[in-house]
Amino acid sequence: MTEDPQLFPERTPDKARLRETSHDSSGHRERLRKRLLEGGEDALADYELIEYLLATARPRVDTKPVARSLIRRFGSLAGVLAADTQTLIKHPDMGPASAAALRIVAVAARRMVRQRVREKSVLGSWQALIDYLHIDMAHLTRERVRVLYLNAQNTLMLDEKVGDGTIDEAAIHPREVIRRALDIGAAALILVHNHPSGNPQPSRADIQITQRIIEAGRHLGIVVHDHIVIGQDGHVSLKAKGLI
């Protein structure tokens, strides 16, 4: 039976496959595997990690060129793993299977740090919270606003995306934020948003909207612990900077 090429969009032509089989027989992939299993965290370069991940989806393909091209395009390993799924699929020499091989790592990493955040008081495991937010938001290409709702023990009840776009009253409504806290029985909250520019320094609008939400919550017994701004260059806590 003739194979329908559309069923396997990431397969390569016969001549290319011969080259790839020859490449694999050189032992390159085996050497990567050995370095990965026997070496430390830095045993493989960033592009080699991506190369190896892609090889799990396409074992007969030389994945080094596409791994290098992904690093060039997205700037870093973290940038590749945080890239939009459809963007990855459409990248040259990628496709659904290759994108899924990268996506699964990003999903697993988020779940690991999210579990750490949920298990303890957020205020008592601050670095775990920052790790969670940084993995999830630092490489977003659009500004995103989230609210972390906490119970009386300051453990996470709900991590809710409020909207995308510049943080102002068009994107986040102080009364709605507090009303949501009352609806779910939250005692406190933390505001979070990212700066796609990479610089996490808060703007005047960031400070003003935070103050409005603090004021709205004060009358109803909802505490606003902080507003965290995430960027590729790090993060800023408005409370730590004395801005709220």
DSSP the chain: ----GGG-TT---HHHHHHHHHHHHTTHHHHHHHHHHHS-TTSS-HHHHHHHHHHHH-TTS--HHHHHHHHHHHSSHHHHHTS-HHHHHHSTT--HHHHHHHHHHHHHHHHHHHHHHHHS-GGGSHHHHHHHHHHHHTT-SS-EEEEEEE-TT--EEEEEEEEESSSSTTT--HHHHHHHHHHHT-SEEEEEEE-TTS--PPPHHHHHHHHHHHHHHHTTT-EEEEEEEEETTEEEETTTTT--
CATH 3.40.140.10 domain locations along the chain = 142-237
61-83: pLDDT as tens digits: 899 999 999 999 998 888 898 88
- Residue 129 burial (CB < 10 Å; 0-12/13-18/19+)? buried
pTM listed for this prediction = 0.70
Average pLDDT of 206-224? 93
Give the CA radius of gyration of the chain: 22
The CATH number of domain 142-237 is 3.30.70.2660: no
85-135: pLDDT as tens digits: 899 999 999 999 999 999 998 888 888 877 877 777 888 888 889 988 988
Q: Are 98 and 10 in contact (CB under 8 A)?
A: yes
Residue 2 pLDDT more than 50?
Answer: no
164-195: pLDDT as tens digits: 776 554 467 898 999 999 999 999 999 999 99
